[in-house]
Every structure is written in C-alpha cells, then in structure tokens.
Homo-oligomer: A and B are copies of this chain.
Amino acid sequence: MAVHGPAMTDVARLAGVSHQTVSRVLNGHPNVREQTRLRVRAAIAELGYRPNGAARALVTGRSQVIGVVAQNTTLYGPASLLAALEQTAAEEGFAVSVGSVRNLDHRSISAAVERHLSHRVAGIVVIAPVESAGEALERLPKDVPLVTVDGDPSRPVPLVTVDQVAGARAATQHLLDAGHRTVWHVSGPTDWFDSVGRIDGWRQALLAAGLDPPPPMPGDWSAASGYRCGQMLARMPEVTAVFTANDHLALGVLRALHEFGRRVPHEISVVGFDDVPEAAYFIPPLTTVRPDFDAVARASLQMLLSQIESGTGGALRQTIAPALVARESVAPPRR
C-alpha cells in the first residue's frame, strides 16, 4: 500500500533546482537566494511534500524524537508529567515516544531504554522514582543524552526533581502552625524516592519543632491503602493531624474518618500532596501541596536539549519547589 509521497528530488525537479537546494531551504540554511527559496517553498506546498524523518535520522544519526520511560502513566503525577513533556517537546519540534514499563526493575527499564535507542532517539527522559531504576541507568551507554525525573539524588546522573522534602516540610509545618501537637504521616511505597523525600520532610519539620515523629504508616499511593490507614487513625483518639503522601491516600483517609464519625477538620486535620484537580471537591476540600509539573517538564527538556546540542553529558541537577495550597481540611485542634 502506501503510495509513497513525493521525495526531495520531486520537489527539486518542480522548482527547477537541485535536491540539495531543497534541503537547504528546509533546514533554513542562509545562503539561498530569496527568489529560489520562494520557488522551493511553492513546490513543497504544491506537492504536499513532507520530509522523511527516517532518512534524515539515518544520515544525521539522530531523530527528532525524545524517548520517555515511565511506569504507571495512569497515576496523576506521571500522566501530568508526560503530558507536560509532550507539550514542551512539541514546541521545540520534538516528538515524544513513550516506553512505559510494568515494573521499575532493572531489566524492564533497560529493555525500554534499548527500544528507544534502537529507534535512535535524540535523548531519553526517565521518570525513575525507585531505587532499582537507578541501577539500570548506571549501565547505560554514556553517549546518550539522558535526564532522570524524580530519581535518585545520590547518583551522578542529570536529575530534575520536585523538592519533595520542602513540600512535605511545608505541609507538616502548616499543620503545626495551626496548633497541632504532632502530625501523623501516611506514606507512599518506601521504594519510591518521592515517598522517601516526603517522609524526610515531614520528619524534619517535626524534629525542628522538637517533636518525636510517630511511626509513618505505609501506603501504596492508592485510595484503598489510604482507607486502611485511615481506619487505624480513626481509632486513635490522640491523632489530630495527618499528612498523606498524596491526595488519593488522603481521599481514603477522609472516607475512613467519615465512616468512624471523626469530623474533618474539626477533630482531625488532613493535608495531601499533588493537588489533583478534584482535591478542591473532596469532603472537605483538601489542603495539599502542588508540584509544578510544567516547570519540571520544561527544566528536564531544557537539560536534555542542552546535552543534545553541546554533546556534553553534564551531571546537572535542578529542583522545583512545590507550593502549599490551603483549603478547608485544616483547622486548629479542639482543646
């Protein structure tokens, strides 16, 4: 099938120039007479010519495609990030190829990266929030532009990350400022750096206030696990403030508290993380921390492009500060 479209030579013939001149026009080469340029443009338009990316990639050794490796692109965070990356990349003239993986283990990541490499992507963004992903990245060819997002801060790889620690600290501090004597935490899976960072920030805030952090309750990002933790929290009369590692956990907690008749925020205050669009419509509206996914996407793409252009594989690092969004799920404790 596929009656192949016109090629550069067809355009050249129609415009009465050599194919190389067409190439020059296409690539914005300076030394082309204005009149020629227009003639070529007209021919391109008339034929509906579309440059062949494969041929270009073959000869330049590099396509205008950026590969993204991510795990669960259904989760709000990854999905937002992916969408933002795609937008930003498109503005720079790059397409985005997704290689999502079921598990973030060494083998899966490597396989996904391999797939991208075999397509000769210009660079790769790995959304690598867990430990095992880091290992995979260490064995990667060093000559491929690479940026990790929300990955391991301790590895010598270019990294863009939401400042989880600062966000969690702000959330916890917000609760302390409201007058709470301590803050409990429902965490994400502990093999995610995001979780670790948020636990850290929460702990830091408590320690700075001279408080002894209670044991964090481990969740798995899902509302279901939040619900389970919430059932336990509801039974503990001393609990007046909870910080959850994301908004969906918070939703589960809210639901459990509601079921147990513990009113939010009158008896217990809750703060989430992510600011999913629905958070403002939880019962009650959820105070949360909003990471700026657009900023993360912009930063990582910029970092990647500078690697692509310069050819140097610097180990930069950039941190995006999140913002606290205060809503009605926080109030002073009853005395």
Contact = CB atoms under 8 A, between A and B. Distances in A.
Interface of A: 1-5, 50-55, 57-58, 61-65, 72-74, 76, 79-80, 82-83, 86-87, 90, 95-100, 102, 114-120, 141, 143-144, 222-224, 226-227, 248, 251-252, 254-255, 258, 277-278, 280-283, 285, 311-313
Contact of A254 (B83, B98, B283): B283
Most buried by B among A54, A96, A224: A54
B224 A119 contact: no
A97 B97 contact: yes
A266 to B, nearest CB: 15
Given A74-B80, A281-B226, A283-B255, A97 B96 contact: yes
A229 B119 CA distance: 48
A297 B78 CA distance: 20
A123 to B, nearest CB: 11
B61 A2 contact: yes
A227 B90 contact: no
15 contacts: A50-B118, A52-B120, A53-B118, A54-B119, A58-B58, A72-B83, A73-B79, A73-B82, A73-B86, A82-B98, A86-B100, A224-B280, A255-B282, A255-B285, A258-B283
Contact of A74 (B83, B248, B280): B83
B95 A90 contact: no
A117 B277 CA distance: 34
Given A79-B74, A86-B100, A280 B223 contact: yes
Contacts of A62: 2
A152 to B, nearest CB: 24
Given A100-B83, A252-B281, A119 B95 contact: yes
Nearest to A114: B50
Given A74-B76, A82-B98, A87-B102, 18 more contacts: A1-B143, A2-B62, A2-B143, A51-B118, A53-B118, A54-B54, A54-B58, A54-B63, A58-B58, A64-B119, A72-B83, A73-B86, A74-B79, A90-B99, A90-B115, A97-B98, A224-B280, A248-B278
A278 B116 CA distance: 33
Contacts of A115: 90, 95
Given A74-B79, A143-B2, A223 B277 contact: yes
